[in-house]
Structure formats: C-alpha cells, structure tokens
Amino acid sequence: MSEDQRREEMLREMGISPIWRLRAAPGVAVEDQAPAPVPAVRTLIAEEPSLQTVPAAAPSADVANMDWTALKSCVADCTACGLHKGRNKTVFGVGDQRANWLFVGEGPGADEDAQGEPFVGQAGKLLDNMLAAINLKRDANVYIANIVKCRPPGNRNPQPDEAGACAPYLKRQIELIQPRLIVALGKVAAVNLLGRDASIASLRGSVHDYSGVPLIVTYHPAYLLRTLSDKAKAWEDLCFAVTTMQGLQTGQSAAT
C-alpha cells in the first residue's frame, strides 16, 4: 500500500469526506499538494500562562528541579489530591522526551487507568489516526500527556483543585521536553494551559502562547467520537498545526 493510500485510509477512519490534503509551505516538500481548508490569517495571542489557577496541595518534593526519573517516581507516589484514592495506575505520559510536538489531553479514562498510558482506548485510536494523517506517530517526535495524572471518577472533567495539584508535574514535563509546539486537546486542556476560561470556538484557529511556546487548540478525540460533524474542523486544526510548525522550522533555519 502506497503512502498516499495509507493517508487516505487514516482520514477515512477519522470520518472525514471528501479527503482533504495538506498544503505544502514554500520550500517544504509535502507529498499531497492540494490545498487544505485552513484560513489564511491568524493572530498570535499572548496570554498570561498559568497552569495552577487555584490553590492546591503541593507535591511532596521540589518538582521544579527533577529529572525524568525523579519526576515519574514522584507522580507515581502522589497523594496531592483526592484522585489518588481511586486510581489503579498513574498516567504519567508517553513519547519522545525531546519531541517538537506535545499533545495535552484532560485526564485518563478507564483504559488509561488500567494500562498507565495516555490515549489507549477508542479516543487513543482516533488520536493515533489523526497523528498519522499528518505524518506523525506517538514516540517519534511526539509526546502525549494530560492535565491530570489520575483518572477522575466516572470520566468526569478534572476539578480545578485536581488540575492545580497536577500542574507542577505537567509544567516540569514541558520544561524538560522543550517542545516546539503544544496542541491542547479539548477545552479542559486549553483553559488550564492558558489560565483563562474560553470556548473552543473562540480559541481555535489562532496561535496562543504558553511560556513562550506556541499553542494551538483543537477538539478532544473523545468529543470527536461523539460529534462526528466536528471532525472536519479538527482536520482544519491539524493542517493549521502543520503549517505553524513549518513556519517555526523555517524561522529557525533563517535565524541560523
């Protein structure tokens, strides 16, 4: 099966029809040259980044100075909020620890809690297809994490105090990864990373800022499984993310 056929199969799995393809940026080779439906004008929106938007119990150690090993061990033993009481496994994160791409969801579900890895259920399968459609895959220049590391009961959204308790862990992960671009998957991830409440509709289609790292907002894969009509919008967001990353890489090349 050719690369083009594989991409079309992935996009069909996402439920997008007709098949849309990525637009190549100037000087960047992309196999499929037909334009993607991405609005041409975007504005960089600088916001005051704040993950810890509410008071929360502090982790038991100096998270800000931890390496990967110490950080993962600290998360595994964390009792900073009530979510630890019902967890099976903490879900630390997975992927390339020096990735250019960081995808952040809201919190583990039942499958993630059982396996200790983010996005392993049906939403995870869709996320993998979304990544593959833009020539990415987990563990290869991609890191995947969540706002909280323990499963909220009944798969509800994390409470502000729970997100605040986990905020230092995610902040340290971002510092260690030093991603080129963050993609917030869903409103919970977006509002916690940006430190302000807003709708997905108002956040999509613009480049935001998290501590100097460009951030783009799209829908959570679990939402897309329930709302098929918004899969096309998610594809627009992925195309926009690719265009943004190409611009970042081109800018770095020009600077050097």
Asked if 59 contacts 224 with a C-beta cutoff of 8 angstroms, the reply is no
Asked if 131 contacts 218 with a C-beta cutoff of 8 angstroms, the reply is no
Q: Quote the pLDDT of residue 59.
A: 59
Asked if 216 contacts 209 with a C-beta cutoff of 8 angstroms, the reply is no
Segments making up each domain of the chain, as ranges: 3-14+53-255
Burial class (CB in 10 A: 0-12, 13-18, 19+), 96: middle
Q: How is residue 245 written in tokens?
A: 């990353």
**From the CB of residue 90, how many other CB atoms can be counted at a distance below 10 Å?**
24
Fold entry, domain 3-14+53-255: Uracil-DNA Glycosylase, subunit E (3.40.470)
Q: Quote the pLDDT of residue 176.
A: 98
Q: How is residue 215 written in tokens?
A: 């951030």
Q: Give CA–CA dist 1/224, Å, rounded.
A: 27
Q: How is residue 243 written in tokens?
A: 């265009």
Q: Strand 207-210's sheet: what is its strand order? A: 44-45, 207-210, 213-218, 181-185, 101-105, 142-146, 94-95
Per-residue pLDDT of the chain (256 residues; tens, 9 = 90+): 565 565 566 566 565 554 444 444 444 333 333 334 444 434 444 444 444 443 344 455 699 999 999 999 999 999 999 999 999 999 999 999 999 999 999 999 999 999 999 999 999 999 999 999 999 999 899 999 999 999 999 989 999 999 999 999 999 999 999 999 999 999 999 999 999 999 999 999 999 999 999 999 999 999 999 999 999 999 999 999 999 999 998 876 555 4
Q: Give CA–CA dist 196/221, Å, rounded.
A: 22
What does pTM read for this prediction?
A: 0.81
Whose structure tokens read 């593959």?
A: 132
